[in-house]
A and B are shown apart, each in its own frame.
Chain A
C-alpha cells in the first residue's frame, strides 16, 4: 500500500494550471453559461460565489491536514500566525513578509511575491483578469481561518501584483473577550 505519501511534491506549474482551468470553468466558459440555462437553481450561484466557496471548502480541509502536527492554537493571534507561516508556506510556498494588527480584530498581511499570481501576471495570454485569480486563494484563506474557528472577512489588494496585501477582519461576535 502506498501510504505515508504526505510529503510528496509536484511542480507548482501543475497547481497553477489546475487553478487556471478552475477559474476558467467558473468564470469564463461559454458552455457553462449555456448549460446553466438547463439548471436554473445553479445559475445565480455560479461564477464568483462558487469559485469562492470551492476555495473555502479546500481551505477548510487543507487546514485540518496541515495543523495535525502543530500544538493546539488557542489565541486569535496564534491562529493568524499559523496562517501566515505554516499555511502560507504549504499553500503559497513562502511565508507572509509582514503582519500588522490593530489588536481589534484586523490583521494586514503583506506578501511581496504572492506565488499564485506570478504566472498569471507574467503570462499575457492567461485567461481573464488578475482579480479573478484572487477569488480562489481568498476563499482558501477564509476557509482555513473558519476551520480554526475564526469567522471573518478576507479581502485582497493585488493592484501591484504579484505583490499583494491581504486584510482579515474578524467579525464582531467572534472577537476574543
Chain B
C-alpha cells in the first residue's frame, strides 16, 4: 500500500507532495490520499495546543488509513497517510523530513511558504522514504 506525504504551509497551501513508492501517473488512490490529508488539517489545531512535541502521532483515521502529523515551529504542517503498520518508521521519517525542511528554509533562494520545486529536496525526501518504508 502506497504512502503519501505532504507539506502544507501555515496558510493551508500545499507546498510539497511525495508518494512512496514514487507514484505512477495512473495512481488514482494518490488523489484520495491527498484529499484525506487535507480533510484532517482542521483536526490539527486542538492537538497542537495540547501537545509539547512537534510530532503529533496519529491524528486521524479514514477507513484503514491513518494520518500522522508534525507541526513545525512556524506552523508548517508535515502530514503522512499510511496503513498504520509502521508507526516507528513514520515518526522517524517525519522527524528527518522536518530536518530537511528546516535546512531548506535556510536556502536563501527558497521562499518559505511557496511550493517546493527543488529537485534535490525531492530526491532527499524520496531517499528518506526508501530508508523507512522500503
Contact = CB atoms under 8 A, between A and B. Distances in A.
B52 interface: yes
B53 interface: yes
Contacts, number: 51
Interface in A104-150: 147-149
Interface string A133-177: 000000000000001110000000000000000000000000000
B71 A72 contact: yes
B49 interface: yes
A84 interface: no
A28 interface: no
Given A60-B112, A72-B51, A72-B54, A149 B75 contact: yes
| Interface bin, chain B | 20 to 34
| Interface bin, chain A | 10 to 19
Q: 3 closest pairs, A vs B, by CB? A: A67-B73, A147-B74, A71-B52
B98 A68 contact: yes
25 contacts: A61-B105, A61-B106, A63-B73, A63-B74, A64-B73, A64-B101, A64-B112, A65-B105, A65-B106, A67-B72, A68-B72, A68-B73, A68-B102, A70-B73, A71-B53, A72-B52, A72-B53, A73-B73, A74-B49, A74-B52, A147-B73, A148-B73, A148-B74, A149-B74, A149-B75
B48 interface: yes
